């Protein structure tokens, strides 16, 4: 297989083009075509000579992702795409549209970093698949380019990228950060760092490492329980990195970066949606610059827990806020198309 063009950073791509006997500015033109014009095929680079376009097609691969299934929710606000990769493996990407009463509408893409996942979270369809392989940085980048172009085709603009799809981003740390750096490059895609959010299940050493990077990306922690026994029953990684060690790393991250953390919380009826859980959580998060982002569980075939009711979710939120912890309850998105990460790929 030819090298994937999205796997190159600017210097590498420019050097590759120059090695073909092309002048230096041709590398800039190829880079601009990829990340400013969102061209995805050699023949779209009409500012290049036919011979250079032919050489690009002959020596480089543009086909990172092949759409297999595209599903759109009934309300039209969520679109999920199942992609096949060069080796036949499959991943998912989800585009979500949020209307705002004032200001720019929000269009978010949720991207994957692995085929499957090795973390084994009990309620997650991807975790139930097991780990297949890492995605390359280019395969991660290509998902964002695909979403940006799909939105552009309907006169919309990509506003946010969340690294919350299939896989644990910090288990594929280098490729994930390489991909975001490429997308953040001011000479190319130029997507603002604060418009990226990386979600981790809590790989403590990588949180410490990430804190030292000096990056402005947002960080979200999948917490889901405030006591070790309960969290371990749902998230096996908690046996290795229990809540106190995780929160120690979180406090260091906030101290080092001065950035607010988000804690993700899937509300499961009668399990982690109780006022007692909210009280314990508020005590553990006291003094930490953070926000709790709760969402009723998106049920999967491999987990028997039920989604909480709106009344129980409201009480959970109010209990946290009464104790000084801000909380928002996210609305379900794409339930009719199984838009939770891994649901379509595991079914296929």
**Which residues lie across from 161 on neighbouring strands?**
109, 196
pLDDT attached to residue 50: 97
Beta strands in the chain (DSSP E): 66-72, 78-84, 90-98, 106-110, 114-116, 131-134, 160-163, 196-200, 218-222, 261-267, 290-296, 327-329
Structure tokens at 302: 């491999």
Q: Which of 92, 168, 178, 264 is catalytic?
A: 92
CB-CB contact of 135 with 119 (8 Å): no
Per-residue pLDDT at 259 exceeds 60: yes
Flag whether pLDDT at 281 surpasses 90: yes
With a pLDDT cut of 90, the percent of the chain lying above it is: 86
Q: Residues 110, 121, 250, 341: which is the catalytic one? A: 341
Conformational region of residue 335, where left means phi above 0, alpha means psi within -120 to 50, and beta covers everything else: alpha
* Residue 311 CA: distances (Å) to CA of 141, 263, 329: 40, 21, 11
Q: Return the percentage of the chain with pLDDT > 70, whole number.
A: 94
The predicted model scores a pTM of 0.93
* pLDDT at res. 341: 52
Which of 170, 276, 286, 164 minimizes the C-alpha distance to 226?
A: 276
Local confidence band at 340 (pLDDT 50, 70, 90 cut-offs): low
Q: How far apart are CA 297 and CA 307, in angstroms?
A: 5
By DSSP bridging, strand 66-72 and strand 114-116 are unpaired
Whether pLDDT at 282 is above 90: yes
Domains and their CATH numbers in the chain: 5-59 (1.10.150.530), 66-347 (3.20.20.70)
* Mean per-residue pLDDT, 284-295: 97
- Extract the tokens encoding 94: 């989800």
Report whether 96 contacts 333 (CB < 8 A): yes
d(CA 132, CA 135): 10
Query: Is the pLDDT reported for residue 194 higher than 50?
Result: yes
Per residue in 69-120, pLDDT (tens digit) is: 999 999 889 999 999 999 999 999 999 999 876 777 999 999 999 999 999 9
Angle at 144 between CA 250 and CA 302, to 5 degrees: 65
Transcribe 160-226 into DSSP letters: EEEE-SSS-GGGGHHHHHHHHHHHH-TTTT---GGGEEEEES--HHHHHHHHTT----EEEEE---S
Give me the long-range contacts of 127-136 (CB less than 8 A, separation at least 24): 127/342, 128/300, 128/302, 128/303, 128/342, 128/346, 129/342, 129/345, 129/346, 132/89, 133/87, 133/89, 134/171, 134/172, 134/175, 135/85, 135/91, 135/167, 135/172, 135/175, 136/4, 136/7, 136/175
The DSSP code for 268 is B
Q: How many helices (H) and strands (E) does the chain have?
A: 12, 12
Location of structure tokens 């993700």: 264
pLDDT at 339: 47
**Is there a catalytic annotation at residue 84?**
no
Q: What is the pLDDT of residue 337?
A: 43
- Size of the chain, expressed as the number of residues it contains: 348
Query: Does the annotation mark 139 as catalytic?
Result: no
Cα–Cα–Cα angle for 264, 192, 167, rounded to 5 degrees: 40
273, pLDDT greater than 70 = yes
pLDDT on residue 348 = 55
Backbone angles phi, psi at 263, to 5 degrees: -110, 120
pLDDT value at position 342? 44
Instruction: Read off the pLDDT of residues 25-66 as tens digits, 9 standing for 90 and up.
Output: 999 999 999 999 999 999 999 999 999 999 999 999 999 999
Query: Average per-residue pLDDT in the chain?
Result: 93
């Amino acid at each position: 297989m030819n090298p994937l063009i999205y796997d190159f950073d600017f210097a590498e791509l420019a050097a590759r083009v120059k090695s073909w006997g092309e002048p230096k500015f041709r590398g800039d033109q190829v880079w601009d075509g990829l990340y400013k014009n969102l061209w995805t095929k050699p023949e779209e680079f009409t500012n290049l000579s036919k011979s250079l376009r032919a050489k690009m097609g002959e020596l480089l691969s543009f086909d990172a992702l092949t759409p297999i299934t595209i599903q759109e929710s009934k309300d039209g606000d969520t679109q999920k795409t199942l992609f096949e990769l060069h080796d036949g493996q499959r991943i998912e990407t989800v585009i979500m549209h949020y209307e705002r009463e004032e200001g720019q509408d929000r269009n978010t893409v949720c991207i994957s970093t692995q085929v499957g996942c090795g973390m084994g979270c009990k309620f997650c369809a991807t975790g139930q698949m097991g780990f297949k392989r890492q995605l390359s940085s280019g395969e991660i980048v290509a998902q964002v380019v695909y979403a940006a172009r799909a939105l552009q085709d309907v006169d919309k603009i990509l506003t946010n990228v969340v690294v919350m799809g299939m896989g644990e981003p910090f288990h594929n740390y280098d490729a994930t950060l390489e991909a975001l750096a490429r997308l953040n490059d001011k000479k190319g895609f130029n997507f603002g760092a604060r418009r990226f959010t990386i979600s981790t299940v809590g790989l403590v050493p990588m949180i410490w490492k990430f804190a030292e990077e000096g990056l402005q990306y947002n960080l979200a922690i999948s917490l889901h329980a405030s006591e070790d026994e309960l969290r371990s029953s749902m998230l096996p990684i908690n046996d290795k990195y229990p809540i106190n060690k995780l929160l120690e790393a979180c406090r260091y991250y906030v101290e080092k970066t001065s950035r607010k953390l988000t804690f993700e919380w899937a509300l499961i009826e009668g399990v982690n949606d109780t006022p007692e859980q909210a009280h314990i959580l508020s005590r553990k998060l006291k003094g930490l610059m953070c926000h709790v982002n709760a969402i009723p569980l998106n049920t999967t075939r491999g987990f028997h827990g039920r989604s909480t009711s709106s009344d129980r979710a409201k009480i959970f939120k109010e209990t946290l806020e009464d104790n000084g912890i801000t909380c928002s309850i996210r609305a379900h998105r794409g339930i009719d198309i199984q838009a939770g990460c891994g649901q379509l790929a595991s079914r296929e």
